[in-house]
Amino acid sequence: MMTSTLLVPAASALVGAFLAVLMYRHHRQVFAWTRKIRRKDEANTEFDKPAEWLADLYKAQCRLAQKPCRAEDFEDISQTGTMIKGIADHTEAVRPELKKVVERVGEYVATALPEPGPAPRGVPLAEYRVLLVQAMRQEAARGELVRAILTAEKRIKAERYG
């Protein structure tokens, strides 16, 4: 009788200790996971501005799609490209993609059509063809810019969630 009275409290103490160890291990895993998620969120904040500027750049170039543009039409694109250029060196993970975007912005802006001169009777055929070729090069440069933007956005998304 004496052994059975000691056996029950000892068994319950062992079960309690076992449950305490299991709960301790579970809480350690939860806290480790929380710390990992917090560190990842803090690291992802470095991608916020480039992602936002890439989205702005994409919108700006969409407004100019299939439209021959002069130098003043590229103000938003030039400004956003300059902002991306300034932050490209500080974002190690996506630096090559951002530098490619900046390079494509420069190429696109360089395709600006010249200002029209005063022409009383319209544009001569030869000059019209030259302008048409320049406009086609401008559209091709815009397409390259779009590809560079999408590649950079894809890389940022992979770095954030991958």
Do 102 and 88 touch, CB atoms closer than 8 A?
yes
Select from 112, 134, 107 the least CA-distant residue to 123. Answer: 134
The answer on pLDDT for 118 being more than 70 is no
Report the amino acid identity of residue 5: T
- Any idea which of 14-18, 105-109, 138-142 has the lowest mean pLDDT? 14-18
pLDDT of 147 above 80: yes
The confidence score (pLDDT) of residue 126 equals 82
Helix H, strand E, coil C: the string for 65-129 is: CCCCCEHHHHHHHHHHHHHHHHHHCCCHHHHHHHHHHHHHHHHHHCCCECCCCCCCCCCCHHHHH
For the whole model, what pTM was predicted? 0.73
Task: Write the DSSP string, 11-68.
Answer: HHHHHHHHHHHHHHHHHHHHHHHHHHHHHHHHHHGGGHHHHHHHHHHHHHHHHTTTS-
More confident residue, 118 or 129: 129
50-93 tens-digit pLDDT: 999 999 999 999 999 888 999 999 999 999 999 999 998 888 88
pLDDT digits (tens, 9 = 90+) for 6-64: 787 878 888 888 888 889 899 999 888 888 888 777 767 788 889 999 999 999 999 99
